[in-house]
Structure 1
Amino acid sequence: MDGMSLLTITVLAVFVGFEVVSKVSSTLHTPLMSGANAIHGIILVGAIIVAGQAADPWVLAIALLAVVLATANLVGGFVVTDRMLHMFHGRKDVARSASAKAESK
């Protein structure tokens, strides 16, 4: 593959990833975070493939930038998902403590 083809694949991967993720409404963002993380993982794999096949230094630089940004996006999504799950876990603990206090009285 030549450099222009690799650059085209990288740009299309970034565009498709942005369009798909931006279509998620804010009310559904947290419940659908795992699906978005899967999309980010696909983008990361595409960026790694492009970086691995890059022959020109400027294509390699852009592909490596895509790898870094996709990795940050993927990790950030998992961090948000983890925080969300801890929030739901905290609500169950509060409900259990309140019911335990009510039963002891």
Structure 2
Amino acid sequence: MDWLMSNLYVFVLATFLGFEVIRRVSPLLHTPLMSLTNAISAISLVGSLVILGEQRSALSTALGAIAVTASTINVVSGFLITDRMLKMFKKRNPKE
């Protein structure tokens, strides 16, 4: 039970710290920041695939499947948002 409380404490602290760091980023740096968070999400996808593949218990398999689904959605939507943001910076040619 002690390890659960310490892990929960680290999770909550990381959540608040991450929120504060991202909140203070200027709008010009959002695209590189999104690319970095996509890379972090990809790392979490690999970790969740490892947990799913171990199949130690039914609970860990179910949680691994949920983590794989959530990580995949996060990675795909992050790339879609980054692509949309990059399209906003492209110069448009006026129709002749």
TM-score, normalised with respect to structure 1? 0.64
Count of aligned pairs between the two proteins: 83
> What percent identity do the matched residue pairs reach?
41
Summarize the Cα distance change of 1:63–1:46 in structure 2 as closer, same or farther, 3 Å threshold.
Answer: same
Q: Relative contact order: is structure 1 or structure 2 higher (C-alpha 8 Å, sep ≥ 6)?
A: 1
Gaps in structure 1 of 5+ consecutive residues? 1-7
Alignment partners' CA distance in 1, 2:67 and 2:92: 41
- Assess if the C-alpha contact under 8 Å between 2:52 and 2:61 holds in 1: yes
RMSD after superposition: 2.9
Distance 1:44 1:64 in 2: 11
Contact 1:21–1:36 under 8 Å retained in 2: no
CA contact (8 A) 1:47 1:67 kept: yes
Q: Any conservation in 1 of the 2:31–2:86 contact (CA below 8 Å)?
A: no
Structure 1 residues 60, 66: closer, same or farther in 2, change over 3 A?
same
- Structure 1 residues 18-47: Cα deviation after superposition (integer angstroms, max 9, x where no partner): 737533226343331111100000000000
Runs of at least 5 residues in structure 2 that lack an aligned partner in the other structure: none
Residue in 2 that maps onto 1:65: 66
TM-score by length of 2: 0.70
The amino acid that maps onto 2:62 is A
Aligned position for 1:33: 34
Q: Give the greater-gyration-radius structure (CA).
A: 1
Counterpart in the other structure of 1:83: 84
